[in-house]
Amino acid sequence: MLRRDFVAEMVGALAVGCVGPGWRPRAGPPAGLGALSVAPDSLRVNPARLNRHLSQLAEFGRTPSGGTSRLAYSEADRAGRDYVRRLMREARLAVRVDTGGNILGRRPGRDPALPPILFGSHIDSVPEGGNYDGDVGSLGAIECVQTLAENGVVTRHPLEAVVFSNEEGGLIGSRAMIGELGPAELDLVSRSGKTIREGIPFIGGDPDRLALARRVRGDVACYLELHVEQGGTLHEAGVSIGVVEGIVGIRWYEVTIEGFANHAGTTPMDRRRDALLAAAQLILAVNGVVTAEPGRQVGTVGRISALPGAPNVIPGRVVLSVELRDLSAERIESLYRRVVVEAERIARDSGTRVSFRLLNENTPAPTDPAVRRVIAEACRSLGLSHRALPSGAGHDAQHLARIAPVGMIFVPSVDGISHSPAEFTRPEDVAQGADVLLQAILAIDRGGLEG
Ligand code: HGY
Ligand code: MN
Ligand code: MN
């Protein structure tokens, strides 16, 4: 059975059980928590609606393999964002797009002097990605606010659901939000073919006025992100929820190797300066450097182009990507230095020249211990098993950590697959993650981070 069919089936099954004990629809204008007919800690999201929204969002950028290519700044991205804005309006949020292209849906709190609790994720995808990475946290955030709205719950803090722009192209929207998106990055060409400077207005932002999107410490009470784990720890252990301890740092380099393009038939093997041959050695060297010591560090060459690109021409120029990740910024730097030493040796031996250009850097970030405690307590109150774990994937939360306490809630990825059409998270796990998010929001609103 296709996973998509499985989702539809589960959604149907879950619809029967979506109304938790103590749930009462409430008519009339929102009131404070005290006026509720239901205790806030018995509030539950609507699993059928949330999973239906996931299936509907999957239609934007859907690929023949059942995955998603919703590259940031593409038509599919724009259409998906329109869909998400509609859901936000249905959840009675005041919706706007900031100058960095982030979608924000705001709900007033009882105390307008308090900073908002911010929560969300992203809906852009990698090429041929899946239907859960980013989508679960974005739609889960909207589902939480929808649940509060239909139960008449008004929090003390204002609430803001966010869908960050261009997460997969280097956490661009959250970088704009912390005021660190600079001119050099704006000129980079994104996977959509547009530069970031061109892409931001395409989705309703304004790259010339990025300062307006900026938030500083004190502007946000807390940032929470629900996300699929993208690795196999929770799935293998049969644990429902991951409480993220820290998020890896990521560096992307563009490496150029200059050799000499020449005739492939007439140039003897010992007279060549073959840039692709040098690149092959460099790819092995990256792997060798990263695996030379124990630890969780990873390194990947995920993209390569050889020029001029003909069977009968020795490649004269190669451009490839090198990505390095670890929870320690020092270790990333030391891996990088060793890769450069290897690259220079390979260049000397092959008569080529090599240069590295840093394209994007996301620093590692621990999550906030008090937010972790709140999330773990929410799991306990919901009767869900949980465990602490690091994130090997990058997330917008790592930028928000520079200006606010942050926390992340992971739900299991079946077989640990992600950035693939085969990515899958069970509907009940999606709903449980959203319930944890909802309870964490309410606990933080009650002052759960204070004292
Ligand atoms: O690449 C990452 O780690 C993330 O999924 N953007
Ligand atoms: Mn991703
Ligand atoms: Mn993601």
User: At 36, is the pLDDT very low, low, confident or very high (cuts 50, 70, 90)?
Assistant: low
Instruction: Please choose from 122, 131, 167, 325 the residue to mutate so as to test ligand 1's pocket, defined by most ligand atoms within 8 A of CB.
Output: 167
Identify which ligand lies nearest to the alpha carbon of 393.
1
The shares of helix, strand and coil residues in the chain, as percent rounded to the nearest 5, are 40, 20, 40
The answer, yes or no, to whether residue 40 has pLDDT greater than 90, is no
CB atoms within 10 A of CB 293: 11
Single-letter code of the amino acid located at 427? P
Cis peptide leading into residue 308 (ω within 30°)? yes
What pLDDT, on the 0 to 100 scale, is given for residue 21?
29
Contacts of 281 (CB under 8 A, 6+ apart): 346, 350
Q: Please report the domains of the chain, with CATH numbers, ordered by start residue.
A: 1-33 (no CATH), 38-247+365-445 (3.40.630.10), 249-362 (3.30.70.360)
Identify which ligand lies nearest to the alpha carbon of 168.
1
pLDDT tens figures, 208-259: 999 999 999 999 999 999 999 999 999 999 999 999 999 999 999 999 999 9
229 lines ligand 1 (CB under 6 A): no
What pLDDT, on the 0 to 100 scale, is given for residue 193?
97
361 lines ligand 1 (CB under 6 A): no
151: tokens are 């139960």
Exposed, middle or buried, 104 (CB in 10 Å: 0-12/13-18/19+)? buried
- Rounded to whole angstroms, the Cα distance separating 251 from 323 reads 6
Which residue has 């960050």 as its token pair? 164
pLDDT tens figures, 130-139: 999 999 999 9
